[in-house]
Amino acid sequence: MRKLKVTALLAGAAMLTAAATGQAQAPASVECVMSFSMKGWSAFYKTSSGTGTIKCSNGESASVKLSAKGGGLTVGKSSIEDGRGEFSDVHSVEEVLGTYVSAEAHAGAVKSAKAQVMTKGEVSLALSGKGRGWDLGVAFGKLTISRQ
């Protein structure tokens, strides 16, 4: 009987050890940045589209297409060149794909600078870039990032 208890105890300890070592560890945080360009227009409804490349510190990358839509009090035509996006810490490039929401304020003529912060759940995206064209207003919208 004593031998059976010791065997059961050893088997239980082995199972606990296997379970502890078999648990997946959370992947390390990854830094991802996006370079992009976009063009668009607005007349009370704002729409822009473009392309970009996302590169992550773990070696992952993705060519993406961007689509921004929104409404509000806005009029204009613009383009963003040499755009840069920085994502909050994520675990893979897949985590940055999807739809982000924002609120922005902008004003510019001919050449302007644009900055915006957007969120998608726990992931944040800070966008900046150099612009051309003219625009004036405040718009609320969303940006969708998908694979090209």
Query: Can you give the pTM of this predicted structure?
Result: 0.70
Q: Distances in Å between the alpha carbon of 63 and those of 75, 89, 90, 122, 148?
A: 30, 19, 18, 22, 6
In angstroms and rounded to an integer, the radius of gyration of the C-alpha atoms of the chain is: 24
**CB neighbours of residue 5 within 10 Å:** 9
Residue 29: pLDDT over 70: yes
Q: What pLDDT, in 10s, does the model give residues 75-117?
A: 678 788 888 999 998 999 999 999 999 755 455 554 555 567 8
Q: Domains in the chain, start-ordered, CATH in brackets?
A: 32-147 (2.40.128)
Q: Distances in Å between the alpha carbon of 62 and those of 1, 11, 125, 126, 132?
A: 62, 47, 16, 18, 26
Provide the residue type at 48 as one letter.
Answer: S
